[in-house]
């Protein structure tokens, strides 16, 4: 009796589910809907005569939602402002508005792939700008299969800028090794004896920085690495690591850390322990107002970072015309409240400006033409780029941000420096 | 040796963060028999309440007291309007509802206050004192002492007061409790309210160190759950000792057992406790266990 | 509804329904859009994971907080096998057996200790699993994860990739569900239920709770491993994030929302796990946490027995109106559930323990 009824339940549910699935989706498998007309090159999906859609999958909720939302908001603000002006004139002479479609992947690779599949179904022209290494890797193969651009992704994983392996991809931000190497070079060139302690995040982010740093100081006799530890991105404290590294007597601390509260508490803990090394921080966790002020960064002989863009919190940025346009657009088209606490908002804005360059130069409304245009940008005076850093998409193995500069904390903001000390 | 003592003290300070939340989880479990996965998210909301009050110009201590009151009401309301529906049903369902609340509360915090890290003022200064050659911040000492104080109060509440006994009676057997004239519904609300108020304290204690974000308690929740399970669901003392044990053991193991390192250190307390449990199945401090997850 | 129930209890009608469902399952991918196939494929993946979880937790009553760990291990084994050119059938069985062995060893130790210990051990699995996967870079590809592309449609089939992946997942999912269905309706299922409801009773009638817990745990981990294989069919990439604790908790939620101790509930759980993020993304991608939380709480508030109890609730309501007998099942007090179960036996697949 019991079993029979349960049996019926299974079948009933399955039948209902199949029926619903068929009815809801309704339509059948369509062929290629965009057949060309009159001998013109067939337009790719997602682009019409007056609009183009661009998809972003990024963590919009969950632990990485802070930078994740910024990756969407910068582009949303940039194109919101452009659309309000009437749109962008493309290389084929038509003026189009840019529609950003955002999807939340909560930093789950599986959801990122599902979002990409949904984008394909909804016919986006191209996708990218989203945050995260595993999430972007999860749909990299699918993007290559579908020949859909996955561009200006916000990860320092070098794979995305390898033209041979990733023909439809391009990274936006400098790779992690690039940043680590820039600081390592500065240190090696100083000619002074330095003992270095390393604390890095236990993933490709931390490994990339350390790899770049070690490459740069390899063979430099004046640099000795006296301690090297890791932490997990989910840790709530790195006090133990700081205690251990402080005992190593290092005078330079290479801290490849991407978690805001941990950087603050690391700065505080070092001071409590009476350890005052020169300090290196990555570009995404070196904000003067959000991190160094609460952490008491002024107590250290020098805090160095690698950067390519101006910080939104700096007075120069806020006073500049471009900076004010950025803040106004962010206020109008996104949920951001005040100055964003993560640099990814500015980076996303730079990414959007780079996209605009590609749009302006693509001569046909196709993905191939878009990729050609995107991979041929050099001498582009992108907004908010620091002097010395530039966007150049023509170099194999290097993402759109091709050069970075080393900066030193001055108690309020950062100055670009040529020498250590 | 100095490093050793420093590591132990760092571990205790870290353990106190987990302990704060673990105590709230024990309190709900003792008074309703459930494990509340949304305890951390509720603590985050409480911390945001305090943050808003501070923004309105209240002194930190008053803001925290205010948020404790609001949190007590919030906890009681959540119990009355939502959890009540699942009392006496399948406990798994009620636990999953708290998982839903975890998502919901975290989402609400993110929606209202965004995901930027916000600075939360501490009741205790960051200055340091020397203990046995180790450096300890006054903040860590303050946090730890507060936790110990709460733990003692809870231990006394459940073992020495009528309210505590009534709360436990309701958790263990609501029907018998009702037959013997206890106001079951009101006691359940009080249990949730007290736990939420305690969560508000936990939130205010850890927010200065972790900075205020919607996901502030995510990791702490996992560790607090582990501490509660290890220490015995029905023992405030056990939960706190387990939380400290996790903090200290993982620090020491990471440094002194090179094979383990900082990445696998979290495995150490689990393995040790697993061995302990083989000898003493009811947990370190637990009495006979009534598990309802 | 009643008339429909009667109709469905006719054997021939049931056979016909099975045939129609089978035909629909087979034909669907040929006519559905690509994205629908991909979505159905992912639903199959998680339905199998939830099914395994249901066997240990729903049917046997042991708290399992780490099912995602076995999915992760299964996915890694699959990726390793594929990238080392193992035969695909061998890979599949390895992806089931290795997690199964792990589960067996863990259960042999943990099940001796009662529910608390199993909860402790299983909460530790994803917590330790993530850094362990990063540590074992040679096997797992470290934090960058590993791709394994083996589920493209072979040329001879003339199918598209999404259709081929759908069929692979569908076949294994159907086999898994049939096996589980036979398992829980037989002697084994009754023994698990007795262990869940009262271990003392189980012992008194010669059923060893220890043995059944260990077996149920092992089966759950085998299903977890199988779902890991399916995960690789559908996603073709895995990384340590795959087995994070948050996903394990989501699986648990999906199980209860679908329906604990219910085979059909497991299927619904898989559908829920995949569909809800997609739906909430469509509503507003920046507030998915809020909408998912509301959906979860609302579903359980209306249907504490999970979505699978929807037809039962409807039947109950209609019958109540028909006969005007005030049986009001919702107000059955927890103390009298056993009596209620005896009277209503078939209606309730699971009642709470007091």
Write the pLDDT tens digit of every residue in C56-110: 999 998 888 899 999 999 999 999 999 999 999 999 999 999 999 999 999 988 8
C306 vs B contacts (CB less than 8 Å) = 93
Q: Tokens standing for C343? A: 């009277």
Q: Where are the alpha helices (DSSP H) in B233-284?
A: 236-256, 267-279
Q: Which residue has the higher pLDDT, A307 or A29?
A: A307
pLDDT at A313: 84
pLDDT at A331: 93
Closest to C38 in 3D by CA, of A127, A114, A45: A114
Does C19 share its domain with C57?
Answer: no
- Judging by DSSP bridges, how do beta strands A194-201 and A252-256 pair with one another? parallel
Tell me, yes or no, whether B250 lies in a domain: yes
Give how many domains chain C has, as a whole number.
2
pLDDT at A30: 53
Sheet harboring A405-409: ordered strands across?
Answer: A223-231, A194-201, A252-256, A278-281, A303-307, A405-409, A414-416
A69 vs C contacts (CB less than 8 Å) = 286
pLDDT at B272: 78
CA distances in angstroms from C317 to C326, C327, C341, C344, listed in the order given: 10, 10, 18, 14
SS3 content of chain A, % helix, strand, coil (to 5): 45, 20, 40
Tell me, yes or no, whether B289 lies in a domain: no
d(CA C296, CA C290): 10
Tell me, yes or no, whether B284 lies in a domain: no
Sorted by sequence, the CB contacts under 8 Å of residue A279 that are 6+ apart come out as A252, A253, A255, A267, A270, A297, A300, A302, A303, A304
d(CA C126, CA C117): 15
Range of the domain at B119: 2-279
Please state, for a pLDDT cut of 90, what percent of chain C lies above it. Answer: 64
Q: Which residue of B has its CA nearest to A63?
A: B215
d(CA A317, CA B273): 54
pLDDT digits (tens, 9 = 90+) for B158-184: 888 888 888 888 888 888 888 888 888
Q: Are C234 and A142 in contact (CB under 8 A)?
A: no
Residue ranges per structural domain of chain A:
51-174+315-385, 177-307+407-416
Tell me, yes or no, whether C25 lies in a domain: yes
Q: Tokens standing for B204? A: 């205010």
Helix or strand holding residue A279 (H, E) = strand A278-281
Q: What is the mean pLDDT of residues C264-285?
A: 94
pLDDT at B285: 58
Q: What is the mean pLDDT of residues A97-113?
A: 95
SS3 content of chain B, % helix, strand, coil (to 5): 70, 5, 25
Interface of C with A in 140-199 (CB under 8 A): 142-145, 147, 149, 161, 181, 185
Say how far residue B148 (Cα) sits from the centre of its chain: 12
CA distances in angstroms from B61 to A182, B64, B205, listed in the order given: 46, 5, 11
Does C140 share its domain with C62?
Answer: yes
Q: How many CB atoms lie within 10 A of CB A308?
A: 27
Q: What is the mean pLDDT of residues A28-37?
A: 49
Q: Are C167 and C29 in contact (CB under 8 A)?
A: yes
Q: Tokens standing for B59? A: 């002194």
Q: How many CB atoms lie within 10 A of CB A51?
A: 15
Across the interface, whether the CB atoms of B251 and A240 are under 8 A apart is answered yes
Q: Are A167 and A145 in contact (CB under 8 A)?
A: no
Architecture of domain A51-174+315-385: 3-Layer(aba) Sandwich (3.40)
pLDDT at A252: 94
pLDDT band at residue A23, thresholds of 50, 70 and 90? very low
A68 vs B contacts (CB less than 8 Å) = 115
Tell me, yes or no, whether C353 lies in a domain: no
| Cα dihedral C156, C159, C163, C165 sign | positive
C239 vs A contacts (CB less than 8 Å) = 109, 134, 137-138
d(CA B246, CA B239): 10
Q: Are C176 and C50 in contact (CB under 8 A)?
A: no
pLDDT at B261: 85
d(CA A202, CA C136): 12
Q: Which residue of B has its CA nearest to C57?
A: B92
- Most distant CA pair in chain A, distance: 86
Across the interface, whether the CB atoms of A134 and C33 are under 8 A apart is answered no
SS3 content of chain C, % helix, strand, coil (to 5): 80, 0, 15
pLDDT at B92: 82
Burial class (CB in 10 A: 0-12, 13-18, 19+), C125: buried
Q: Are A70 and A352 in contact (CB under 8 A)?
A: no
For the whole model, what pTM was predicted? 0.88
pLDDT at B107: 93
pLDDT digits (tens, 9 = 90+) for C33-55: 999 999 999 999 999 999 999 99
- CA distance between the termini of chain B: 43
d(CA C177, CA C46): 12
Does C4 share its domain with C144?
Answer: no
Closest to A122 in 3D by CA, of A46, A50, A57: A46
pLDDT band at residue C172, thresholds of 50, 70 and 90? very high
pLDDT at B282: 59
How far off is chain B from C309, nearest CA to CA, in Å? 13
Q: Which residue of C has its CA nearest to A26?
A: C32
Q: Indicate the SS3 state at residue C205.
A: coil
Q: How many CB atoms lie within 10 A of CB C199?
A: 19
- Judging by DSSP bridges, how do beta strands B128-131 and B134-137 pair with one another? antiparallel
Tell me, yes or no, whether B243 lies in a domain: yes
d(CA B20, CA B3): 26
All chains having 3 or more CB pairs closer than 8 angstroms to chain B: A, C
pLDDT digits (tens, 9 = 90+) for A256-284: 999 888 999 899 999 988 999 999 999 88
pLDDT at A325: 95
Q: Are B47 and B203 in contact (CB under 8 A)?
A: yes
Span of A312-326, B128-142, C291-305 with lowest mean pLDDT: B128-142
C7 CB within 8 Å of a chain A CB: no
Main-chain dihedrals φ then ψ at residue C150, nearest 5 degrees? -140, 0
**Which of B96, B235, B250 would best serve as a mutation to test chain C binding (most C beta carbons within 10 A)?**
B96
pLDDT at B51: 96
Domains A51-174+315-385 and A177-307+407-416 alike in fold: yes
Q: What is the mean pLDDT of residues A58-64?
A: 91
Spell out, as residue ranges, where chain B has pLDDT lower than 50: 288-293
Main-chain dihedrals φ then ψ at residue A366, nearest 5 degrees? -125, 160
Q: What is the ipTM of this complex?
A: 0.88
A109 CB within 8 Å of a chain B CB: no
Q: Are C246 and C182 in contact (CB under 8 A)?
A: no
Q: How many CB atoms lie within 10 A of CB A387?
A: 7
d(CA B217, CA B204): 11
Q: Indicate the SS3 state at residue A227.
A: strand
Interface of C with A in 63-102 (CB under 8 A): none
Q: Indicate the SS3 state at residue A409.
A: strand
Does C125 share its domain with C226?
Answer: yes
Q: B interface toward A at CB cutoff 8 Å?
A: 2-3, 6-7, 10-11, 13-14, 17, 106-107, 110, 114-117, 119, 126, 128, 135, 137, 209-211, 213-215, 218-220, 223, 250-251, 254-255, 261-263
Q: What is the mean pLDDT of residues A397-412?
A: 90
Tell me, yes or no, whether B216 lies in a domain: yes
Q: Is the pLDDT score of A21 beyond 90?
A: no
Helix or strand holding residue A332 (H, E) = helix A321-333
CB pairs under 8 A between A and B: 94
The DSSP code for C304 is: T
Across the interface, whether the CB atoms of B135 and A274 are under 8 A apart is answered yes
Tell me, yes or no, whether B290 lies in a domain: no
B128 vs A contacts (CB less than 8 Å) = 272
Q: What is the mean pLDDT of residues C145-172?
A: 92
Does C14 share its domain with C39?
Answer: no
Tell me, yes or no, whether B127 lies in a domain: yes
Q: Nearest 5°: CA angle at A111, between B265 and C167?
A: 115
Q: Which residue of C has its CA nearest to B268?
A: C128
Across the interface, whether the CB atoms of A240 and B11 are under 8 A apart is answered yes
Helix or strand holding residue A318 (H, E) = helix A315-319
Q: Rounded mean pLDDT of chain A?
A: 88
pLDDT band at residue A161, thresholds of 50, 70 and 90? very high
Q: Nearest 5°: CA angle at C151, between C148 and C155?
A: 130
Q: Tokens standing for C14? A: 């049931």
Name the residue with tokens 């069985």. C93
Range of the domain at C17: 1-31
Q: Is the pLDDT score of C112 beyond 60?
A: yes
Give how many domains chain B has, as a whole number.
1
Tell me, yes or no, whether B65 lies in a domain: yes
Q: How many CB atoms lie within 10 A of CB B275?
A: 10
Q: Tokens standing for B164? A: 């505590």
In A2-149, beta strands by DSSP E: 51-58, 88-89, 95-104, 126-128
pLDDT at C323: 62
Q: Indicate the SS3 state at residue B58.
A: coil
Secondary-structure class of domain A177-307+407-416 per CATH: alpha beta
Q: Tokens standing for C230? A: 């399916």
The count of residues in chain C is 354
Does C7 share its domain with C92?
Answer: no
Q: Are B39 and B100 in contact (CB under 8 A)?
A: no
In chain C, beta strands by DSSP E: 146-147, 237-238
Q: Nearest 5°: CA angle at A106, between A103 and A109?
A: 90
Q: Are C273 and C267 in contact (CB under 8 A)?
A: no
pLDDT digits (tens, 9 = 90+) for C308-354: 999 888 888 888 766 654 444 443 333 333 333 333 333 334 433 33
- CA distance between the termini of chain A: 83
A123 CB within 8 Å of a chain C CB: no
A229 bridge partner residues:
A199
Burial class (CB in 10 A: 0-12, 13-18, 19+), C14: middle
């Amino acid at each position: 009796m019991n079993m029979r009824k349960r049996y019926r339940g299974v079948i009933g549910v399955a039948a209902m589910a199949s029926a619903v699935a068929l009815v809801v989706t309704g339509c059948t498998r369509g062929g290629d809907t965009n057949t060309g007309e009159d001998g013109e090159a067939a337009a790719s999906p997602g682009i019409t005569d007056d609009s183009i859609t661009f998809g972003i999958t990024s963590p919009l909720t969950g632990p990485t939602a802070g930078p994740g939302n910024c990756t969407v908001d910068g582009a949303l603000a940039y194109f919101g402002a452009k659309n309000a002006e009437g749109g962008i004139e493309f290389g084929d002479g038509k003026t189009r508005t840019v529609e950003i479609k955002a999807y939340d992947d909560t930093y789950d690779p599986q959801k990122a792939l599902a979002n990409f599949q949904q984008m394909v179904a909804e016919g986006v022209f191209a996708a990218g700008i989203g945050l995260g290494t595993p999430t972007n890797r999860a749909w990299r193969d699918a993007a290559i299969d579908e020949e859909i651009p996955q561009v200006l992704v916000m990860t320092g994983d070098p794979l995305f800028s390898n033209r041979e392996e990733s023909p439809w991809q391009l990274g936006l931000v400098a790779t992690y090794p690039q940043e680590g190497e820039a600081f390592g070079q500065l240190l090696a060139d100083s000619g002074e004896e330095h003992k270095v302690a390393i604390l890095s995040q236990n993933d490709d982010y931390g490994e990339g920085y350390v790899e770049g740093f070690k490459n740069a100081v390899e063979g430099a006799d004046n640099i000795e690495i006296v301690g090297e530890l890791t932490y997990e991105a989910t840790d709530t404290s790195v006090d133990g690591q700081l205690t251990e590294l402080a005992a190593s007597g290092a005078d330079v601390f290479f801290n490849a850390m991407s978690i805001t509260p941990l950087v603050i508490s690391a700065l505080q803990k070092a001071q409590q322990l009476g350890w005052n090394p020169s300090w290196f921080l990555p570009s995404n966790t070196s904000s003067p107002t959000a991190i160094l002020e609460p952490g008491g960064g002024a107590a250290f002989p020098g805090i160095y970072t690698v950067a390519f863009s101006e910080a939104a919190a700096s007075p120069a940025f806020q006073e500049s015309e471009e900076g004010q346009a950025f803040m106004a657009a962010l206020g109008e088209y996104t949920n951001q409240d005040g100055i964003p606490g993560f640099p990814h908002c500015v980076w996303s804005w730079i990414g959007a400006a780079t996209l605009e360059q590609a749009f302006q130069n693509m001569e046909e409304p196709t993905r191939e033409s878009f990729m050609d245009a995107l991979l041929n940008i050099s001498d582009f005076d992108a907004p908010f780029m620091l002097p010395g850093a530039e966007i150049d998409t023509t170099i194999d193995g290097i993402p759109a941000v091709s050069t970075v500069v080393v900066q030193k904390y001055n108690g309020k903001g950062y100055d670009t420096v040529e020498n250590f000390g | 040796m100095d490093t050793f003592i420093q590591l132990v003290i760092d571990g205790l300070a870290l353990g106190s963060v987990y302990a704060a939340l673990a105590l709230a989880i024990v309190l709900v479990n003792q008074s309703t028999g459930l494990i509340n996965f949304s305890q951390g998210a509720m603590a985050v909301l409480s911390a945001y309440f305090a943050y808003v009050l501070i923004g309105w110009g209240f002194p930190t201590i008053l803001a925290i007291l205010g948020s404790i009151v609001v949190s007590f009401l919030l906890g009681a309301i959540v119990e009355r309007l939502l959890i009540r529906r699942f009392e006496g049903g399948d406990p798994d369902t009620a636990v999953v509802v708290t998982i839903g609340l975890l998502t919901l509360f975290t989402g609400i915090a993110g929606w209202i206050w965004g995901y930027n890290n916000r600075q939360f003022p501490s009741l205790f200064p960051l200055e340091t004192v020397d203990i046995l050659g180790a450096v300890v911040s006054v903040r860590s000492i303050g946090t730890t002492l507060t936790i110990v104080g709460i733990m003692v109060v809870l231990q006394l509440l459940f073992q020495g007061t009528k309210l505590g006994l009534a709360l436990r009676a309701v958790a263990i057997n609501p029907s018998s409790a009702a037959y013997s004239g206890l106001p079951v519904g009101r006691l359940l609300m009080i249990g949730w309210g007290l736990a939420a108020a305690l969560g508000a304290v936990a939130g205010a204690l850890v927010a200065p160190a972790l900075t205020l974000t919607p996901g502030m308690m995510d990791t702490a929740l996992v560790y607090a759950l582990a501490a509660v399970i290890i220490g015995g669901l029905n023992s405030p003392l056990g939960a706190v000792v387990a939380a400290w044990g996790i903090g200290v053991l993982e620090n020491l193991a990471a440094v002194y057992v090179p094979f383990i390192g900082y990445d696998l250190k979290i495995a150490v307390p689990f393995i040790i406790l697993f061995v302990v449990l083989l000898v003493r199945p009811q947990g370190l401090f637990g009495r006979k266990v009534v598990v309802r997850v | 509804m009643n008339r429909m129930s009667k109709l469905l209890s006719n054997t021939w009608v049931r056979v016909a329904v099975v045939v129609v469902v089978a035909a629909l399952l087979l034909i669907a991918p040929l006519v559905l859009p690509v994205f629908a196939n991909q979505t159905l494929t992912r639903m199959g993946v998680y339905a199998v994971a939830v099914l395994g979880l249901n066997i240990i937790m729903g049917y046997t009553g042991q708290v399992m907080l780490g099912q995602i760990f076995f999915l992760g291990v299964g996915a890694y084994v699959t990726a390793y096998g594929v990238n080392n050119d193992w035969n695909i059938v061998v890979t599949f069985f390895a992806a089931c057996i290795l997690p199964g062995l792990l589960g067996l060893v863990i259960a042999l130790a943990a099940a001796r200790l009662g529910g608390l210990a199993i909860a402790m051990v299983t909460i530790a699995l994803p917590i330790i699993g993530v850094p362990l996967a990063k540590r074992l870079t040679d096997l797992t590809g470290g934090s960058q994860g590993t791709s394994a592309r083996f589920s493209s449609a072979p040329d001879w089939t003339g199918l598209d990739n999404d259709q081929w992946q759908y069929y692979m997942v569908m076949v294994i999912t159907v086999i898994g569900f049939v096996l589980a269905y036979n398992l829980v309706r037989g002697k084994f299922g009754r023994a698990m239920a007795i262990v869940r409801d009262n271990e003392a009773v189980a012992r008194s009638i010669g059923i060893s709770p220890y043995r059944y817990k260990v077996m149920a745990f092992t089966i759950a981990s085998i299903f977890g491993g199988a779902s890991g294989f399916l995960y690789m069919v559908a996603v073709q990439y895995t990384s340590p994030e795959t087995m994070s604790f948050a996903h394990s908790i989501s699986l648990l939620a999906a199980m209860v929302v679908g329906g604990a101790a219910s085979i059909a509930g497991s299927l619904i759980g898989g559908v829920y796990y995949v569909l809800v993020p997609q739906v909430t993304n469509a509503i507003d991608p920046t507030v998915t946490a809020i909408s998912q939380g509301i959906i979860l709480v609302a579903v359980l508030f209306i249907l504490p027995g999970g979505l699978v109890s929807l037809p039962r609730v409807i039947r109950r309501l209609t019958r109540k109106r028909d006969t005007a007998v005030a049986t009001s099942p919702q107000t059955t007090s927890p103390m009298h559930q056993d009596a209620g179960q005896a009277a209503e036996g078939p209606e309730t697949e699971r009642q709470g323990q007091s």
